[in-house]
Structure 1
Amino acid sequence: MAKAGKGSKIVVWALVGGLIAGLGGFGVTNFGGTVGNVGTVGDTPIQIEAYSRALRGELDALSAQMGSPVSFADAAAMGIEQRALGQVVIAATLDNEASDIGVSVGDTAVADQIFTIQAFQGSNGEFDREAYKFALDRAGLTEAEFESQLRRESARTFLQGAVTGGIQASDNYVNLLLNYIGQQRDITYIVINSTSLPATQPLPTDAQLQAFYDENIADFTLPARKGITYVELTPVMLADTVELDEGILRQAYEDNQDRYYTPERRLVERLVFPDAEAAEAAKARLDSGEATFEDLAAERGLELADIDLGDVAQDDLDGAGEGVFAAEADSVVGPLDSNFGPALFRVNAILPEQSTSYEEAKPDLRDEFAIDRARRVIEQQAEDLNDMLAAGATLEEVAAETEATLGTIEYYDGLESDIAGYEEFRSVANGLTVDDFPEIHELSDGGIFAARVDGDLEPSPIPLEDVRAEVVLAWQTAEMMDQLRTRAEALQAALDAGDMAALDEVEIQTAENVGRGQMLPNTPASLNNHIFEMEEGAVDLVEGAEKVVIVRLDGVSDPDMESEEVTQMRGFLEQQAASQTAEALFQAYLEALRSDAGVQLNQAALNAVKAQFQ
């Protein structure tokens, strides 16, 4: 009997922890009938419960990534079925191989792992059998089933470690990567941009505009799209029609006085003294002009920032509040009692109270409550509208008989105007076909919609008159780039010929030790890649948005293999290369095992699992 080593056990513990977390709150689905597995690898079955759990885990992970629940239909379009099936096929492949070659984990090793799992421990940190039983009950597992799963996980980890353990990256390979990443370039360059051209670009003639439009028709063509008719009902549409009780609005006003009333506040500094006598003496010196407030603070070893209270309300100052709030701005009052002893208070500014009357607040309150009330009305109407559609009503009939509005849109992926501004609409529209019947879907603002595809529209040019402004701008940009290119080519010729006098009117810049991926200010993003493809001494033109760069490669330097930076990079690359090699080797190993054992899938069982999520 082969046993997993210490490193394997650590990995297994992590896997088991994830298993328990994933199972908690989900349980095992009873699919009924005689369907027991979704396939086999060799003689090893792929349990239907394992596939269901993998599918649920992928769906939950995707929802967490998106920040909101994702429907199964949307998740399926993103490939979760394939990922979940891949997970369970890999597990079954390793289980089958472990069984064939006799790899297993002993009872003692399994027990040691169980005792270490935090979910199974009591408040004293020791293994608690009741906690163990409770966790497994929540997961829908018996102790025997869980321990069998744990044993299989350990065997899989052992096999993976046996295949990938000890793999190291080749020194030649790492040195090649280091040389590629660490090389640097020295360049001389000139940036030619629109500032060197006339401030205003000429307008094209009608003939020039038409010719440019025709030559670049792909830029002014709508993509393939769907002609969609929809009905929409949102809280904003109903807000003006809902009835609100005056008493509710007034109560909301009273309950939220902090929104509608701000008491007077003052910007105050407080200078505390050890006793009343010292405070009175300081106030006398201040009143006589012998000392300033700043002088008094400095004598106490304090900066003004140390005694600044910021803006305060009267209640914030306890017993001193009345005196401070009776003072005028730019005055000092006291001594007054404070929590820290007798103090002088300087009032730097007065922030008057602010209040909003009920009548002033009423429109905002009504809007707020009307939208909330409209959401509830829509929630109540949604089922009725869905029933109408299920009974065969058209969208046009729904709009005629309800408060929903009818609209049309030529939708394509990426459109975000009108109703397509809602992510929920885009998600539905992307998967909608002419064969689908309309049904009610929710919108993020509490609204609802239903949509129907009337037909698929082929790509079609947008009429010139509809995009005239865009075409004019594109023509001017193209003309400007032609002018920049012509000027840059002339300067390049001068640079090649050594005619430095021709370069007097432009700024020549240099950059040394430019690393791969390093951006230079006000240069095209493609410049860096370009200079690493140039031969030393070459002069090239690199174009970007509204600029052209003339660049000469002056020098190439290899990395210092002994430097601290390169040494750190070497360690990272060695680890990354070893990991990639191990992954590739493990995938090849899995493929060989699958090919040798044979994989059979039960489509009926896969469909049964899928049906549970729809």
Structure 2
Amino acid sequence: MLSAMRSGKNRYFFYALLGLLALGLIGFGSGNIGGGSARSIGKVGEQSVSINTYANTLNNAVQTMAQRFGRTLSPAEIEGLGLQRNVLSAVLSSAALDNEAKRLGISVGDTAVATTIRQTPSYQGLDGSFDKEAYEFALERSNVSAGENETAIREGLARAMLERAVTSGLTGAQTQAMNLISFANETRDFDWIEIDETNLVQPIPAPTDEQLNAFYTENPDRYTTPVAREITYAWLSPTMVEDQVEIPADELRNAYDLQTERYNRPERRAIDRLVFADNDAAIDARNRLDSGSITFDALITERGLEPGDVDLGELTKDDVSTGAADGLFDQDELGVFGPFDSDLGPAIYRINAILQAEITSFEDAEEELHAEMVGDSAARLVSGLLSDIDERLAAGATLEELTTETQMELGQISFTSESEDSIAAYDEFRDAAEQANVDDFPEVLELSDGGFFALRLNEIKDPTLRPLADVKDMVITDWIAAETAKALQTRGEAIIAEIASGKSIADFDVVVETKTGANRGARDEQLPITLISDLFELDLNAATLAATDDTVVIAQLKNITAVDGETGETAILLDTVNTELRSQVSADILDLFSQALQQDAGVTLNQVVINSVDSQIISGQ
């Protein structure tokens, strides 16, 4: 398929960068970025790529990616994402098209440039018309003159004409679109059964000594101990000192009184609010809602708003304006209410949820509060001992001495990758145990619950095959499981052979389940993950099987529901897929065309300037 289909995620990102070129002269004051008197990072043929264009596009790309991640990206992350490389490729692609447009004599007049300027949102005032001050401010921010900006717009319009000429006449492949839709939306109906060891003709007999020896020899990894790190440790956790903590009754009561929001939550409502300019507009909207001619959600959309714009969250009666409080909190049902006066004007409200008051008495909360306060006090007590323990270790105390002189407890563990009990449940201990060396000096390390520990690695034991006598019961269990799986597989294949010869899946004295309308992406917790996809490779009434840990599932295909290309929904979907395919083909053709132009015209780059721009933008994040 096209390269666009082979590398979809990278393709979308690359062409998103081309879109950012439209912002290349807006939103980033580059000043003397790049240093010296250089004004471009290079050129394609006779078309220069200005420092501003590259810098602004890179900055926009970095900021866009930071918004997706929800945080500032480090230089290493920006490098790992390949932002500089992709931005450079995008601006060179644009420059190649500009160079070709000039070679062919493609250009636009002043009227087209003026129209574009007037229609650019960044140059418009609050009323949507062209604002000279906004235009001058945008140019000042981007550190370009009006002439430079108009030249960039003229080049962009000419470039767009060339792009349309290259991609015009492309049509979507109806057959390809239908194949894609059919692949995704065809469904299968099937019957299935699950067989286990109770469905075997004969039970699995006990293994002989020869069979056990052979299985043990063929599967040594199952019975080999992992690498074991023999560790001595001393530790102290808050739970070890909780019996030393006493919480006075008056402190418990004070803690309860200070947490009224936790233990005495008033009644709340989850509320949406739609504000109107005047009462007449609010009443008109309410009448339309009552008549059923519009829904509340449609009313939000009609106003040009998003659901988040009207969502007030969970509010108490005190959180709502006086004019609406009684009208909303006297309601026992969900729905639309009002209009009521709000702080912003007449408004219609929607109650999405009613959350009853939650009152917890001191007596009911006392046990929970006591446990929390004891835990906090114990953690502070342990924390106060940390520096003393650290000093003792620094003075040469052994772990054994620490446990006789302090409240720390001594322990031994044969630590492996499978250890998870007691202190090995802590990630901090596990990390320290895996990194320790035999000659390391013990140091105090903190635990996530406020405790701390110190450890000493005594030796490392290599993996060892355990004697058969020690693991005989395990070997027997494993052998029986393996033989059962083989027998179930054999039985399942025999059932499929009988189905192929004319029998139905209902003929085998096993409970039959039916599943309908399953597409290729369907998932069912009762079925092996590969079973449904395998059914799409079968002819009608054929069967397939898939094994689980201790069963085999057999499915027989009963019905194939193809996609009806004549339905309205499919027609809409076909149009959408065709549009996407045309977009993908256009993008690929433009990409290939630009690469060919760059090869023909030649590309020269000033890597010193490029590195300088990269450094200044990325280090400034």
Shorter-normalised TM range: 0.5 to 0.7
- CA shift at 1:599, angstroms? 2.3
The 1:359–1:493 alpha-carbon spacing in structure 2 relative to 1, beyond 3 Å, is: closer
Q: Which digits, 9 at most, give the CA deviation of each residue in 1:121-161, with x for residues without a partner? A: 33444333222222222222222222222222222222222
- CA shift at 1:56, angstroms? 2.0
The 1:17–1:607 alpha-carbon spacing in structure 2 relative to 1, beyond 3 Å, is: closer
Partner of 1:605: 609
- 1:80 is the counterpart of 2:83: yes
Given that 1:186 and 1:556 are in contact with CA atoms closer than 8 Å, whether structure 2 keeps it comes out as yes
- CA shift at 1:76, angstroms? 0.6
Q: Which digits, 9 at most, give the CA deviation of each residue in 1:429-471, with x for residues without a partner? A: xxxxxxxxxxxxxxxx9xxxxxxxxxxxxxxx97678xx9xx9
- Which residue among 577, 584, 587 is the counterpart of 1:583? 587
- 1:517 is the counterpart of 2:521: yes
Amino acid at match of 2:99: N
The 1:361–1:576 alpha-carbon spacing in structure 2 relative to 1, beyond 3 Å, is: closer
Q: Which digits, 9 at most, give the CA deviation of each residue in 1:527-569, with x for residues without a partner? A: 2321222234433323356543223334545433323333233
- Which residue among 120, 129, 132 is the counterpart of 1:129? 132
- CA shift at 1:17, angstroms? 10
Gaps of 5+ in 2: 1-14, 228-236, 238-252, 268-314, 319-356, 382-415, 418-424, 432-447, 449-461
1:84-163 paired onto structure 2 within 5 Å? 84-163=87-166
Amino acid at match of 1:568: I
- 1:192 is the counterpart of 2:199: no
Partner of 1:32: 35
The 1:195–1:111 alpha-carbon spacing in structure 2 relative to 1, beyond 3 Å, is: farther
Partner of 1:212: 219
For 2:223 and 2:57, locate their aligned partners in 1 and report how far apart those are by CA, in whole Å. Answer: 49
Partner of 2:489: 485
Given that 1:494 and 1:503 are in contact with CA atoms closer than 8 Å, whether structure 2 keeps it comes out as no
Amino acid at match of 1:80: L
Q: The residue matched to 1:127 in structure 2 has which SS?
A: coil
- CA shift at 1:83, angstroms? 1.1
The 1:421–1:74 alpha-carbon spacing in structure 2 relative to 1, beyond 3 Å, is: farther
Partner of 1:406: none
- CA shift at 1:93, angstroms? 1.0
Which has the larger displacement, 556-565 or 253-262?
A: 253-262
Q: The residue matched to 1:39 in structure 2 has which SS?
A: strand
Q: Which digits, 9 at most, give the CA deviation of each residue in 1:326-351, with x for residues without a partner? A: xxxxxxxxxxxxxxxxxxxxxx9986
Q: Which digits, 9 at most, give the CA deviation of each residue in 1:261-320, with x for residues without a partner? A: 8898999xxxxxxxxxxxxxxxxxxxxxxxxxxxxxxxxxxxxxxxxxx9999xxxxxxx
Q: Which digits, 9 at most, give the CA deviation of each residue in 1:581-604, with x for residues without a partner? A: 222322232232222212233333
- Which residue among 19, 25, 35 is the counterpart of 2:23? 19
Partner of 1:569: 573
Given that 2:20 and 2:60 are in contact with CA atoms closer than 8 Å, whether structure 1 keeps it comes out as no
Amino acid at match of 2:110: D
Gaps of 5+ in 1: 1-10, 222-235, 237-252, 268-309, 314-347, 371-409, 423-444, 446-460
1:266-285 paired onto structure 2 within 5 Å? none
The 1:502–1:44 alpha-carbon spacing in structure 2 relative to 1, beyond 3 Å, is: closer
Which has the larger displacement, 204-213 or 58-67?
A: 204-213
Given that 1:185 and 1:514 are in contact with CA atoms closer than 8 Å, whether structure 2 keeps it comes out as yes
- 1:49 is the counterpart of 2:43: no
- CA shift at 1:526, angstroms? 1.7
For 1:548 and 1:585, locate their aligned partners in 2 and report how far apart those are by CA, in whole Å. Answer: 50
How many residues are aligned here? 418
For 1:44 and 1:30, locate their aligned partners in 2 and report how far apart those are by CA, in whole Å. Answer: 20
Amino acid at match of 1:92: A
Q: The residue matched to 2:582 in structure 1 has which SS?
A: helix
Given that 1:190 and 1:507 are in contact with CA atoms closer than 8 Å, whether structure 2 keeps it comes out as yes
Amino acid at match of 2:509: E
Given that 2:174 and 2:574 are in contact with CA atoms closer than 8 Å, whether structure 1 keeps it comes out as no
The 1:192–1:254 alpha-carbon spacing in structure 2 relative to 1, beyond 3 Å, is: same
Q: Which digits, 9 at most, give the CA deviation of each residue in 1:193-221, with x for residues without a partner? A: 689799x999997974563244999xx99
Given that 1:265 and 1:353 are in contact with CA atoms closer than 8 Å, whether structure 2 keeps it comes out as no
Partner of 2:259: 259
Q: The residue matched to 1:541 in structure 2 has which SS?
A: strand
1:496-507 paired onto structure 2 within 5 Å? 496=500, 503-507=507-511
Partner of 2:241: none
The 1:565–1:209 alpha-carbon spacing in structure 2 relative to 1, beyond 3 Å, is: farther
For 1:107 and 1:23, locate their aligned partners in 2 and report how far apart those are by CA, in whole Å. Answer: 21
For 1:605 and 1:495, locate their aligned partners in 2 and report how far apart those are by CA, in whole Å. Answer: 72
Given that 2:29 and 2:142 are in contact with CA atoms closer than 8 Å, whether structure 1 keeps it comes out as yes
- CA shift at 1:516, angstroms? 3.7
Q: The residue matched to 1:566 in structure 2 has which SS?
A: helix
1:359-438 paired onto structure 2 within 5 Å? 418=427
Given that 2:546 and 2:552 are in contact with CA atoms closer than 8 Å, whether structure 1 keeps it comes out as yes
Given that 1:41 and 1:594 are in contact with CA atoms closer than 8 Å, whether structure 2 keeps it comes out as yes
The 1:179–1:131 alpha-carbon spacing in structure 2 relative to 1, beyond 3 Å, is: closer
Amino acid at match of 1:30: I
Given that 1:263 and 1:352 are in contact with CA atoms closer than 8 Å, whether structure 2 keeps it comes out as yes
The 1:486–1:367 alpha-carbon spacing in structure 2 relative to 1, beyond 3 Å, is: same
The 1:16–1:120 alpha-carbon spacing in structure 2 relative to 1, beyond 3 Å, is: farther
- 1:168 is the counterpart of 2:171: yes
- CA shift at 1:101, angstroms? 1.2
- CA shift at 1:71, angstroms? 0.6
- CA shift at 1:92, angstroms? 0.8
Partner of 1:530: 534
For 1:213 and 1:462, locate their aligned partners in 2 and report how far apart those are by CA, in whole Å. Answer: 11
Amino acid at match of 2:124: Q
Partner of 2:445: none
The 1:128–1:152 alpha-carbon spacing in structure 2 relative to 1, beyond 3 Å, is: same
- CA shift at 1:610, angstroms? 3.0
Given that 2:106 and 2:158 are in contact with CA atoms closer than 8 Å, whether structure 1 keeps it comes out as yes
For 1:362 and 1:215, locate their aligned partners in 2 and report how far apart those are by CA, in whole Å. Answer: 47
- CA shift at 1:48, angstroms? 2.9
Q: Which digits, 9 at most, give the CA deviation of each residue in 1:376-413, with x for residues without a partner? A: xxxxxxxxxxxxxxxxxxxxxxxxxxxxxxxxxx99xx
For 1:312 and 1:195, locate their aligned partners in 2 and report how far apart those are by CA, in whole Å. Answer: 63
Which has the larger displacement, 254-263 or 89-98?
A: 254-263
Partner of 1:552: 556
TM-score scaled by length of structure 2: 0.53
- CA shift at 1:86, angstroms? 1.4
Q: Which digits, 9 at most, give the CA deviation of each residue in 1:145-200, with x for residues without a partner? A: 222222222222222222223422234434444554554444333233689799x9
For 1:507 and 1:418, locate their aligned partners in 2 and report how far apart those are by CA, in whole Å. Answer: 46
- CA shift at 1:255, angstroms? 13
Given that 1:115 and 1:126 are in contact with CA atoms closer than 8 Å, whether structure 2 keeps it comes out as yes
Q: The residue matched to 2:194 in structure 1 has which SS?
A: strand
The 1:201–1:159 alpha-carbon spacing in structure 2 relative to 1, beyond 3 Å, is: farther
The 1:601–1:476 alpha-carbon spacing in structure 2 relative to 1, beyond 3 Å, is: farther
For 2:575 and 2:430, locate their aligned partners in 1 and report how far apart those are by CA, in whole Å. Answer: 47
Q: The residue matched to 1:102 in structure 2 has which SS?
A: coil
Q: Which digits, 9 at most, give the CA deviation of each residue in 1:49-68, with x for residues without a partner? A: 32222222222222222222
For 2:173 and 2:535, locate their aligned partners in 1 and report how far apart those are by CA, in whole Å. Answer: 29
